[in-house]
Amino acid sequence: EKAGHKHFMAKEIHEQPQTLKDVLDAYLDDGRIAPPATFDWTGIDRLTIVACGTAHIAATVAKYWFEKIARLPVECDIASEFRYRDPVIAPGTAVMVISQSGETADTLAALRHAQGQARTLAVVNVAESSIAREAEVAFPILAGVEIGVASTKAFVNQLAVLLMLAVRAGLDRGAATAGTEAEWVAKLTALPGLVSQALAVEDRCEALAHRLAEATDILFLGRGPMYPLAHEGALKLKEISYIHAEAYASGELKHGPIALVDRTLPVVVLAPTDALFDKTVSNMQEVMAREGQVLLVTDAEGARRASHGVWEMLVMPTVDPVLAPILYAVPAQLLAYHTAVHKGTDVDQPRNLAKSVTVE
Ligand code: M6R
């Protein structure tokens, strides 16, 4: 049942090239992005995305995409905050909820709160769930059953669906930055192969695990869409290895967290070579100047330009920066997984956590 893997989480990490291909096959049709459910983005002026945990992190990646590609303003909210805050839902707003299980109590309550005030959309894995049934339009992520409490393949497929919806919205709205549909289809189609190549960093992650397992705190840094990924790396690590981890936007480093840096602090820097690369590198140098142990996750070009003085590197395949969050989920997962395995924690069923949080 674990297909030769030690844990469901490992199996699910390794399934990602295939589960990603499955969702792309369902959403791409003959050079077009044609989701299995339809939503017309033309009358929408604003998008509010509501979710919990990893699904909320997927929402914060989607914010970058919807704003960049579709020029649609996006607000992301944690479901337990949204449902009780009496949020202003302006006319022309669409409210999207994201949930793997489709049964998360706060997310379901947030959806119910939005009903009647806004168009509602759901991005869900479990097709026959309450959230899938109650939303006006439900987009399936088709990741298959996810058993590990730490969400992996569902996160990657959520991202893929959200990117495709952002492109669809961009095309519907005639956003100049959307690019052509054919260009997007080509980029998306290359993704499963790239994710499969990204899995090659696993040996390195396993080799580093004993060092990370010794740490009491680990910092994750990123800029742009890599900032949410820093949150994903920190959340995965906390959940299954019980090591305290925090994520910061790289630019926030000198506004507080740099005070934590000393030679006992591993700092994971997620930095593909994009337009923000040099800025992230200069933050990384500030960490190294204070003897922080930098683990740089980058591509070959980044490794060539910024390896000097880093403790370790994970070299990822080169990818269009827009798609990088999907690829960089893999090292975030593998670092957490191997650190937890090294510590001997219960990876699939970490203490105090449930797969589906159906009570608030
Ligand atoms: O089923 P959902 O996507 O609504 O669940 C939301 C969170 O409970 C979930 O993502 C949680 O944070 C995971 N354990 C993260 O790995």
pLDDT digits (tens, 9 = 90+) for 250-272: 999 999 999 999 999 999 999 99
**Ligand 1 mean position, distance from CA 286 (Å):** 34
Helix 53-70 vs helix 153-173: angle between axes, to the nearest 10 degrees? 30
Residue 179 reports pLDDT greater than 80 = no
Q: Which residues are catalytic?
A: 355
Q: Shortest CA distance to 204 belongs to which of 60, 354, 334? A: 334
Residues 323-330, mean pLDDT to the nearest whole number: 98
- Detail the DSSP E strand segments found in 215-276: 217-222, 244-249, 266-270
pLDDT attached to residue 304: 97
pTM for this model (two decimals): 0.97
Q: Are strands 266-270 and 217-222 parallel, antiparallel or unpaired?
A: parallel
3-state helix, strand, coil in the chain (%, to 5): 50, 20, 30
pLDDT attached to residue 180: 87
**Ligand 1 mean position, distance from CA 45 (Å):** 28
Q: And the tokens for 119?
A: 């168009």
Residues 270-298, mean pLDDT to the nearest whole number: 95
Q: How confident is the model at residue 146 (pLDDT cuts 50, 70, 90)?
A: very high
Q: What angle do CA 213, 214, 218 make, to 5 degrees?
A: 75
pLDDT digits (tens, 9 = 90+) for 58-115: 999 999 999 999 999 999 999 999 999 999 999 999 999 999 999 999 999 999 999 9
Residues 320-326, mean pLDDT to the nearest whole number: 96
Helix, strand or coil, per DSSP, at residue 318: coil
Task: Give Cβ neighbours of residue 217 (< 8 Å, ≥ 6 apart).
Answer: 243, 244, 245, 246, 260, 265
Residue 124 reports pLDDT greater than 80 = yes
Q: Which residues have any ligand 1 atom within 6 Å of their CB?
A: 52-55, 99-101, 104, 107, 149-151, 235, 239, 356-357
ipTM of the complex: 0.99
Atom of ligand 1 nearest to the CA of 236: 16
